[in-house]
Structure 1
Amino acid sequence: MTEHLSTTEDTHIWPRSVVVIGAAGLIGSGVVERLAVEGLVDTVYMTDLRENVLQAHAIDVSETQILTGNTRTRLVVGPPAEGSGVDLVIVAASAPETPDGDRRDFLRANLELLRLLLPDVERLAGEQGIVMLLSNPVDILGEALRRLSGIGPDRIVGYSLNDSVRFRAAVGRELGIAPERIEGIVLGEHGDGQVPLFSALTLDGKPLELKSEQRARITADITGWFSRWSALKPGRSSGWTTPQGVAQVVKAMGTGAIHPATAWTGSIEGLPDSFVSMPTRFEKNRFVPTLGTLSESESAALAQAAKSVEAAAERALHDLRLSK
């Protein structure tokens, strides 16, 4: 275990300690960089099979901290000491995405990887720690983790903010305006089961009404994002958007602000017991969905997404058991 940089005065309340599993990869290293450069945590533990790459990333990020004048976050190559848990376990380890495929195409590989990582994830999370999944399909993996582990379902969360970012971008393209003027979120399943919340769209803080044909074009835009990305055959995932989004989510969790996240539906009447993206607040070390009022069609689509995730997780876990 190698440390880089000593922290300055310790003032954070939550999270104080984070471990990033898969920190040598594009997304994992980007998450480490954002957490450290923004000084969002006291200690970041970096784990991966490629320790030499971790060492290089740690040196690079620590020097970036000096440039930005924020060296409070301590970087540690390796896990915390045996018996020590952390506030937040971020699972960024992932199988390569499949070009021209669907997000579910590499479910089996990522599910097998999650199963192999499970003992470490449970040990690091301990009795109170939170587990944040970045690997796809994040909702199905979240449901699988709930079933495979002893971690409480309200301590499991999946990163899904990118869907809302792409929704805002699509609305901006449709209207020919800057997307930062738009606020909007996407619920449901990460992929074709997305539920764009048109009823809550705002422009410059005011409600935004769209025509049905505009909604149809925007929905086609966001559901077609993955195929357009795969057609580029970049051999990589969203290496800048996701780390920046994770930093925003960590901030929101620390302050109790409402933010979209893939969370457990078990506390919501009328939804199948599953994981889908919902407006969520982090309270008393647990995730609490805060759905609010949805239109009839949005409620139906969200229930269908939860049912789809539940069934997919059941099939995937059945196949995993058969393959052992």
Structure 2
Amino acid sequence: MKTKVSIIGAGHVGATAAHLIFQSGLADIVLYDIMQGTPQGKALDLMEAAPLWGISSSAFGTNDLADTAGSAVVVVTAGLPRKPGMSRDDLLLANKEIITNVVGETSRISPECIFIIVTNPMDIMTHVAWKASGFSPQKVMGMGGVLDASRFRTFIAMELGVSPQDVEAMVMGGHGDLMVPLPRFTTVKGVPLPELLPHERIEELIRRTRNGGAEIVALLKTGSAYYAPAASVFEMVRSIVLDQKRVLPCAAYLNGEYGVSGFFVGVPVILGGKGVEKIIELRLTDGEKAEFTKSAASVKELLENQRLT
């Protein structure tokens, strides 16, 4: 019997993540949405592509959360989309109720699952999901850091004219305007980024990374990014299902690491079959630590304003 991965929300991000996981043959997919016919149609479309991709996985669409029972991983993308002029924080109140209801039910019927939260504002929604699940925080995480690092890698590769495969990047902090890309821990085939680009150019790439989601929203006008977020989900699901123990930046629950306690924020972790198996503490400079502390404080402030801590 194959591993079961359920994706809550059959919009662009959810459906594209389902596509990537299904085509890889990594797991059987359950695609859930409240819209009648949408998850069923997209799942059937995937199944009809299976002979062409040479895979034997199954994809099933449903409007009933009961069909997600027994999932190993539950990816939550459900929620209102980000629109032009909206910050991630504007979405908080609208999406809080959705996440609470969905995670409360899926945690009950898949008590051994691991949650990956994509819904924005992602750091806050991850905390909401953890509370709703009653799970160990190691089994609940947010996707943002993988996406932010991928964007940073992309812009560096474009700037230097190199393959993005040869770029490794680290981004910490909240998934928002105060995220903390770390040039000192970012390399091109092992060469530290500060040795390849002047400070001014690096700062410009950091600004573009912080504005990466908003840049796409402004271009699309009626939607938000989904290819890169879905690919980020796939990277995380693969590391969990195959117990790869990849070192990835994710929103993880901190309990004293980096001087932060009691909430989720982006840090490098070892991601494996048990979820967040270890939080890696980097030796930050005073400047890096100050930026991270500021970013984490903004997440904490939002939580406190919503009385979630």
Same fold (TM over 0.5): yes
TM-score between both structures, scaled by the size of structure 2: 0.88
C-alpha contact (below 8 Å) 2:167/2:187 kept by paired residues: yes
- 1:120-170 C-alpha deviation (Å, 9 max, x unpaired): 1321341x3111111111111112233444122121111122211111122
| Root-mean-square deviation (Å) | 2.3
Mean CA deviation greater in 134-143 or 48-57: 48-57
- 1:80-127 C-alpha deviation (Å, 9 max, x unpaired): 76894321111111202121221111111111211232331321341x
* Distance in 1 (alpha carbons) for counterparts of 2:67 and 2:81: 30
SS at match of 1:86: coil
Residue in 2 that maps onto 1:239: 226
- The question of 1:146 aligning with 2:130 is answered yes
C-alpha contact (below 8 Å) 1:262/1:277 kept by paired residues: yes
Matches within 5 A, 1:186-265: 186-209=171-194, 210-253=197-240, 254-265=243-254
C-alpha contact (below 8 Å) 1:252/1:259 kept by paired residues: no
Q: Which amino acid aligns with 1:29?
A: A
Residue in 1 that maps onto 2:279: 289
Residue in 2 that maps onto 1:113: 98
* Distance in 1 (alpha carbons) for counterparts of 2:91 and 2:141: 20
- 1:172-208 C-alpha deviation (Å, 9 max, x unpaired): 3443444333211211111111110111111123223
Q: Which amino acid aligns with 1:33?
A: H
* Distance in 1 (alpha carbons) for counterparts of 2:176 and 2:49: 35
Q: Which amino acid aligns with 1:181?
A: D
- 1:192-247 C-alpha deviation (Å, 9 max, x unpaired): 11110111111123223243222321222222323322322432222221222211
SS at match of 1:236: coil
- Sequence identity of aligned pairs in percent? 26
Q: Which amino acid aligns with 1:89?
A: V
Point out where structure 1 has 5 or more consecutive residues left out of the alignment: 1-9, 319-324
- The question of 1:311 aligning with 2:305 is answered no
Q: Which amino acid aligns with 2:270?
A: R
* Distance in 2 (alpha carbons) for counterparts of 1:83 and 1:232: 35
TM-score between both structures, scaled by the size of structure 1: 0.85
Q: Structure 1 240/291 Cα, relative in aligned 2: closer, same or farther at 3 Å?
A: same
* Distance in 1 (alpha carbons) for counterparts of 2:298 and 2:261: 9
- 2:54 aligned to which of 61, 69, 73: 69
> How many residues are aligned here?
301
Q: Which amino acid aligns with 2:236?
A: V
Residue in 2 that maps onto 1:166: 151
Mean CA deviation greater in 212-221 or 132-141: 212-221
* Distance in 1 (alpha carbons) for counterparts of 2:244 and 2:25: 15
Point out where structure 2 has 5 or more consecutive residues left out of the alignment: none
Q: Structure 1 220/284 Cα, relative in aligned 2: closer, same or farther at 3 Å?
A: closer
C-alpha contact (below 8 Å) 2:25/2:55 kept by paired residues: yes
* Distance in 1 (alpha carbons) for counterparts of 2:67 and 2:209: 44
